[in-house]
Structure 1
Amino acid sequence: MTGTPVEVAPTRALADLSVGDTLPEEAIPITRTLIVATAIASRDYQDVHHDPELAKERGSKDIFMNILTSNGLAERYATAWAGPAARVKRIKIRLGAPNYPGDTMVMTGEVTAIDTAARLVDLKVVGTNSLGPHVSGTVTLELPQ
């Protein structure tokens, strides 16, 4: 085998976390391909996620990201920060401004609660684009001992 092995960051430990800790920002380019491919991958065939003309007929300025993709991006953001042994226990999100092609969504996060007995950490996550908050909510992760 050739090449450099990919380093995987260790999973975070609850003992190393504090309420108020912030996660690093992550910029996600919102491309037409991302919107269409993830809608198809989640079996969401609504035309507003792949047909610009029909989306405009329905009052949108263009196609826009579906909720399953937004949910998945919030989960990936949290688990990428927490590490490979973290387990998602709950996600509760709400949508705001649409994610349109050509924009960038910036994910931010903060530790809002830690339950050491249950090994759980709550993260407030927000994805903001040029129109305002697109996705906001809480991701609860279980971390190993």
Structure 2
Amino acid sequence: MQTKNVQNKTMQFNDVKVGDKLPEQAIAITVALISNGALATRDFFPGHHDKDAAIELGSPHIFMNILTTNGLVQAFVERWSGPESVFKNIDIKLGMPNYPGDTMTFMGEVTATDPQNRTVEVGLAGKNQYGMHVTGTVQLVLP
């Protein structure tokens, strides 16, 4: 079964089942996304906005910081769950870097539900050409 939120309405707890798949989402990784995400999160580490500094560190280009990835994870899940969902926890682990020119594709699945608290757990992954950039879980409450 695939649950889809196409009208920007909030998913209702009773409409969600373990095994429901979130619609995949591909995100183009650009210099602007990486550098603006780093600066917006006050991460001034040169590897996130200065290509020459990143190369000196042994990287082929600037690379995405974890706070930008965290924001993309939340946006991916909220695109499915809707604006009235309440995030309780985001637990992610970084893997391969995201560089400009990559495409990261998010995929996710409902892995647990708790009717007493109306809580839903989503397992997710974001993959690029090198492998998994991010894996983790998100817990949220649905009306």
Please classify the TM superposition score into its range, dividing by the shorter chain length.
over 0.9
Match of 1:18 in 2: 17
Query: 1:69-117: per-residue Cα shift (whole Å, max 9, x none)?
Result: 0011001111110011101100000000000000100010000000011
Bigger CA radius of gyration: 1
> Offset at 1:9?
2.2
Equivalent residues in 2 for 1:109-120, closer than 5 Å: 109-120=108-119
Give the secondary-structure state (helix, strand or coil) at the position aligned to 2:53.
Answer: helix
Unaligned 5+ runs, structure 2 = 1-5
TM superposition score normalised by structure 2: 0.94
Query: 1:14-58: per-residue Cα shift (whole Å, max 9, x none)?
Result: 111111110001000000010001100000000000111111111
CA–CA distance in structure 1, aligned partners of residues 106 and 8 of structure 2: 19
> Offset at 1:8?
4.9
Match of 1:48 in 2: 47
Match of 2:80 in 1: 81
CA–CA distance in structure 2, aligned partners of residues 68 and 8 of structure 1: 28
> RMSD in angstroms over aligned alpha carbons?
1.0
Unaligned 5+ runs, structure 1 = 1-6
Runs of 4+ in 1 over 2 A off after TM superposition: none
Tell me which amino acid in the other structure corresponds to 2:69: S
Equivalent residues in 2 for 1:1-145, closer than 5 Å: 8-144=7-143
Q: What is the number of residues matched between the two proteins? A: 138
Give the secondary-structure state (helix, strand or coil) at the position aligned to 2:76.
Answer: helix
CA–CA distance in structure 2, aligned partners of residues 60 and 29 of structure 1: 19
Match of 2:3 in 1: none
Identical amino acids, percent of aligned pairs: 51
Give the secondary-structure state (helix, strand or coil) at the position aligned to 2:60.
Answer: coil
